[in-house]
A and B are shown apart, each in its own frame.
Chain A
Amino acid sequence: MLTLQTILDHIELKVLTDPVDFSEIEIHTGYTSDLLSCVMTGAQAECIWITLIANINVVAVASLLEIPAVIITENAQPDAATIARANQEGIVLLSTPVGSYQIVGRLWELGIKDTDPNK
């Protein structure tokens, strides 16, 4: 387990939503997919989700699955309504110019490997 603060300390990510206490947010595992239905099946609660999708449905899915943070890759830009909804739902949206593959690699190196669904 890592806190979101630790992730932000090691990987350069732009925080798109309102700043909160990132050291309070625990990240237990990760998931990456750009198909919402796959995320629905595959993503665990308290995971960080890496995706290219930047629309409001990302927030709906994250909220439903209790995903605390989403990294939007390749500079895809969510609109103001999406960011506002994320703030409302307490979901942190992060942005990076690099691709999902690289981000996943960096997270893995940091130690976010645990994908045991029973945890």
Chain B
Amino acid sequence: MSDQATLSDNDAGMITRVEELGYELKISQVMTTNVVTFSPDMTMLEALNLMQHHRISGAPVIMNGEVVGIISTEDLIRALRDGRIDRKVSDYMSKNLITAKATDKVVEALRIFAKKNVGRLPILDENNKLVGLLTKGDITNGLLTALQRDYQAEEVIRYRASHLFEDIESDRTSLILRYRIIKDDFLHGGAASNNIKRALLRLGADRQVARRCGIAAYEAEMNLIIHTNNGGFLRVEIEPHKITMEAYDDGPGIDDVEKALTPGFSTASEEVRNKGFGAGMGLVNIRSCVDEMTIKTSKESGTNLYMTIYLDKPKN
């Protein structure tokens, strides 16, 4: 892109999408189609009057349906300087024609503008007939319009997600997310809780609520990875006014729940501690993040940890 060097770092994030659009959009989508054209036999004065009237700074010159030249304000200035404003357009027009095809991508036009010192490009169809005119301003407008369309599409998706519950009528609407957590899978530890947090944000949850759910889910997820026989499941039920999360496994159960709830108490192995776990804060953290926490545990049927966060009462 010719203007890339002048973009600030702040715009750098946008470049990728704009560049992409340069490859996606065709010239025909951004060019001006109502083109004012001149004939080579007009005088420069007539050209000047037409350009003033249409408020344009240049136009293609057409003879027998073919583009034979292009006139710009620079040519008018030359004619005025020479005192020959009564001369024909064909005497002053630029005949060194640089054109582009309507079916080409916008990026092609950008390359031409970057290389050649031209202000406008006559755009031709496959039969070399003039179908439009393209300036850098047309490209800027076209790209901005396309970006705006992108943005609106994203807005619609966001809006739909965050109004999911309002759109659906039932006596009790909820969305359930389930994640299988695999024993000793430290590599993916935190993936489920990250997805839960993202889903909540997508659904329009408050950032603090999403963070609290994320932290509680992470601790529960790591407990399933570290302390169970066979891993387990995380189940999240999202309702308009509360989020309920459940972590469950099939054993071995918690020996002493009271102890497990004591800050600093941990049964984690030395190996697990070396990974940064086993601070003895897991359940303690969960309890501080959620509004209600219940544990059901037995050697026979494993552990069920229930966590509830109410959306209408903020917790510090």
Contact = CB atoms under 8 A, between A and B. Distances in A.
Asked whether A and B interact, the reply is yes
Interface of A: 21, 23-24, 34-38, 40-41, 45, 51, 53, 55-61, 63-66, 81
26 contacts: A21-B12, A23-B9, A24-B9, A24-B10, A34-B276, A35-B276, A36-B222, A37-B219, A37-B277, A37-B282, A37-B285, A41-B215, A41-B285, A45-B211, A51-B276, A55-B186, A55-B276, A56-B187, A57-B189, A57-B276, A57-B277, A60-B190, A64-B194, A64-B218, A65-B211, A65-B215
Contacts of B1: none
Contacts of A38: 279, 281
Contacts of A55: 186, 275-276
Question: Per DSSP, are chain B's interface residues mostly helix, strand or loop, or mixed?
Answer: helix
Interface of B: 9-10, 12, 186-187, 189-191, 193-194, 197, 211, 214-215, 218-219, 222, 275-282, 284-285, 288
A59 B275 CA distance: 12
A44 B288 CA distance: 15
B252 to A, nearest CB: 21
Contacts of B197: 64
Contacts of A41: 215, 281, 285, 288
A66 B207 CA distance: 11
B285 A40 contact: yes
A79 B10 CA distance: 32
